[in-house]
Structure 1
Amino acid sequence: MRRILSILLCILIAAWSVYSAVIFVDQGEVVYVTRFGEHRATYDGEIEAGFHWKWPWPIESVLRLDRRVQVLDIPTQELLIRTGSHSALPRENQPHFVLAEESGSGLREPVATQQETPLRLTFDVYVVWRIATRDAQALEPYRRDPVNAFLRSFGTPDRAQAWLRNQLISRLKVELADLTYSQLVNIDPQKRTVNTVLQNLLHRPYEREPGDPQRLSLHERALHYGIEIVDAQLRRFNHPVQVRKQIFEQIAEQQRRLAQRFRNQGEEQAQEIRAASLKEVSKIRTEAETRRRALESEAQSEANRILNAVYREAPLAYELLLYLDFYREWLGDGRTQMILSLDHPLLKWLRDLPNLAPAHKEARSAAPPNNIAQPPR
């Protein structure tokens, strides 16, 4: 019985040794092999995926790391952004007082000046990273084995993410310090600086501390520790929740003032257009009145010429026409009644109609008078 148990125990130990001696490396991971805590080998799944051998545990141990691309969300950062002189966002300009030069009386008078209040915004940034590959452009001695550099620097991915998070927050504050709101928000693609800021955040060299001999960028420093930063992007930026309602009210008030200014400008332009139209109408009416008077004068002259010609040809007929016009003017409405004596001048043509023909023949040779007589009223 003891012999059977010993054989079974030996079989189990052998099976366990064989099982623990085989390493299967997946394409999305990196296997870090240590012998009694000392680095022995590193198997990269991108180029060394498959089965590998090692000494059984506890002689050699295995640490598996995810080498796929990972997304790290940076906690929301609340930063102060300069509004700028051309910002479309309403800003609060609070007056403060500074001492002016001494006046003639020897006293300093306070002078009110305008001080720009920075705008408070919240930024949500995320970074895409992974464990660096062997061909990454890192510094010696970590270029050949970035996994070893990663584990020696951080030990665990959580510590690496904490370091990366702190570095990004620090660099984000530096890069956004000189940025204005109009550079963040605009409709001109050539003036957008968000992508430039993010590129500078990763690739602009900086001193880790004053007098640092190595001016490296965040991307280079991360490679130095076995981290490859693939990309960094701004997810969103907004006003803090505490002041968001106030900001929206300021924007609405600004839009109301802007609309009122446009209405005032439109009313001024409308008044100018109406004044110009009235001036043009008055000018046209004046020209038309002048033209009418000229035409009436020409027509009257032509009428007088025609009447003079008629008078020369038939003076009695001319006088008869004058009386007929007078009769039409006075009696044309059909309601006028006149009581006249038989010898009244208005009845002249009614009395002299039988003698009209002989008199007309005698008067044809007579010359026209200088002034045409009007019928008596």
Structure 2
Amino acid sequence: MKKPVLVALIVLLVGAGIVAANSLFLVAQTQQAVVFQFGQYVRTIQEPGLQVKLPLIQNVIFYDRRVLELNPPAEQVILADQKRLVVDTYLRYRIADPLRFYQAVTNETQAASRLSDIVISALRRVLGNSTLAELLSPARARLMQEMKVAVDREARELGISVTDMRIRRADLPEETSQAIFARIRSEREREAREFRAQGQELAQQIRARADRERTVLLAEAQKRAQELRGDGDAQSIRIYASAFDADPSFFDFYRSLQAYRKALADGTTTLVLSPDGDFFRYFDHKEAASSR
């Protein structure tokens, strides 16, 4: 074979290889593709496998066919009852129409920006007609569905289908939270003061009742003691009277002995009395002198 012919054959084979390489492309399991020719739409491929295109004049743009997730920035909304909430949401979506997606937003970065705006708009619209009580009640599921439907309706214009939308967190604004915490703390301190005051009042009532009962008990005890002393004195008088009636001279003698005992009880008392006085009338001085 002549050399020029061999070179031509090699060039032809290389060219055919290049053409074949540019004519074939693979759509993966997680991908979908849109084929354009000179900027004009040709077809959409949503099934995986090896595909063919015209080399050089057709180009292919690939998009993810899996469910994607978006976390829009937290947004402060005003509810129907004029309460403010900072709402944090997340969104799950998929590219349902690759051509419309390409025409509307071109890529996922632009899609995320547009979807975030749509989510914020739906949040303000739906929650703006709802109260905090509804948001904290089972009605929250209905509100979530209403927002999902609203976002999906607008996202369809971008070639996007929303599969799920949830409120991840709803908090009070920082300044509102601090004010509420301060009010709660003040309320708890007021309740604590009231409880302490009630406790002190109850303690005073208990002490006053105990003092009254003690006073009554002491008065009753004193009354009983006086009654017992009176009974004892009366009985003593009766005994003395009986003894006096039985033997007046002995009773007089006994009373004198009691007087001696009291007068000389401490052993240091000095009495200056006449021996002939009544105090010593029961001492027989003459018999004492004769005995000495």
SS in 2 for 1:271: helix
Give the distance between the partners of 1:325 and 1:69, measured in 2 at CA. Answer: 119
Q: Does 2:136 correspond to 1:229?
A: no
Aligned partner of 1:129 in structure 2 is: 92
**8 Å contact 1:122–1:238 — kept in the other structure?**
yes
State how many pairs are aligned. 265
Give the distance between the partners of 2:225 and 2:141, measured in 1 at CA. Answer: 80
Q: Does 2:25 correspond to 1:24?
A: no
Aligned partner of 2:128 in structure 1 is: 173
Aligned partner of 2:3 in structure 1 is: none
Q: Of 194, 197, 210, which aligns to 2:136? A: 194
Aligned partner of 1:365 in structure 2 is: none
Q: Of 46, 51, 56, which aligns to 1:54? A: 51
Q: Does 2:115 correspond to 1:160?
A: yes
**8 Å contact 1:154–1:160 — kept in the other structure?**
no
**8 Å contact 2:34–2:62 — kept in the other structure?**
yes
Counterparts in 2 of 1:218 and 1:81: CA distance versus 1, 3 Å: closer
> Which amino acid is the alignment partner of residue 11 of structure 2?
L
Q: Of 14, 25, 28, which aligns to 2:20? A: 14
Residue 285 of structure 1 and its aligned partner are, at CA, apart by: 1.4
Give the distance between the partners of 2:17 and 2:202, measured in 1 at CA. Answer: 102
Counterparts in 2 of 1:122 and 1:235: CA distance versus 1, 3 Å: closer
SS in 2 for 1:174: coil
Counterparts in 2 of 1:73 and 1:315: CA distance versus 1, 3 Å: farther
SS in 2 for 1:333: coil
Give the distance between the partners of 1:63 and 1:344, measured in 2 at CA. Answer: 148
Residue 129 of structure 1 and its aligned partner are, at CA, apart by: 2.0
Identical aligned residues as a percent: 17
Give the distance between the partners of 2:283 and 2:79, measured in 1 at CA. Answer: 111
> Which amino acid is the alignment partner of residue 341 of structure 1?
S
**8 Å contact 1:131–1:147 — kept in the other structure?**
no
Give the distance between the partners of 2:100 and 2:256, measured in 1 at CA. Answer: 129
Give the distance between the partners of 1:247 and 1:275, measured in 2 at CA. Answer: 41
Aligned partner of 1:290 in structure 2 is: 223
**8 Å contact 2:77–2:128 — kept in the other structure?**
no
Give the distance between the partners of 1:239 and 1:316, measured in 2 at CA. Answer: 108
Q: Of 93, 101, 106, which aligns to 1:151? A: 101
Kindly indicate which of the two structures has a greater share of residues assigned to helix: 2
Give the distance between the partners of 2:197 and 2:205, measured in 1 at CA. Answer: 12
Aligned partner of 1:279 in structure 2 is: 212
> Which amino acid is the alignment partner of residue 49 of structure 2?
H
Residue 287 of structure 1 and its aligned partner are, at CA, apart by: 1.5
Counterparts in 2 of 1:236 and 1:218: CA distance versus 1, 3 Å: closer
Residue 292 of structure 1 and its aligned partner are, at CA, apart by: 1.5
> Which amino acid is the alignment partner of residue 31 of structure 1?
Q
Counterparts in 2 of 1:153 and 1:276: CA distance versus 1, 3 Å: farther
Aligned partner of 2:4 in structure 1 is: none
> Which amino acid is the alignment partner of residue 164 of structure 1?
V
What TM-score do the two structures reach when normalised by structure 1? 0.57
Give the distance between the partners of 1:81 and 1:266, measured in 2 at CA. Answer: 43
SS in 2 for 1:349: coil
Structure 1 unmatched ranges of 5 or more: 44-50, 83-117, 133-145, 184-191, 204-216, 355-377
**8 Å contact 2:91–2:165 — kept in the other structure?**
yes
Residue by residue over 1:19-68, the C-alpha shift from the partner in whole angstroms, topping out at 9 and shown as x without a partner, is x1x21113xxx52445652553434xxxxxxx423332664734322633
**8 Å contact 1:128–1:232 — kept in the other structure?**
no
Aligned partner of 1:326 in structure 2 is: 259
Give the distance between the partners of 1:319 and 1:150, measured in 2 at CA. Answer: 140
SS in 2 for 1:233: strand
**8 Å contact 2:79–2:127 — kept in the other structure?**
no
Give the distance between the partners of 2:221 and 2:169, measured in 1 at CA. Answer: 71
Give the distance between the partners of 2:241 and 2:248, measured in 1 at CA. Answer: 9
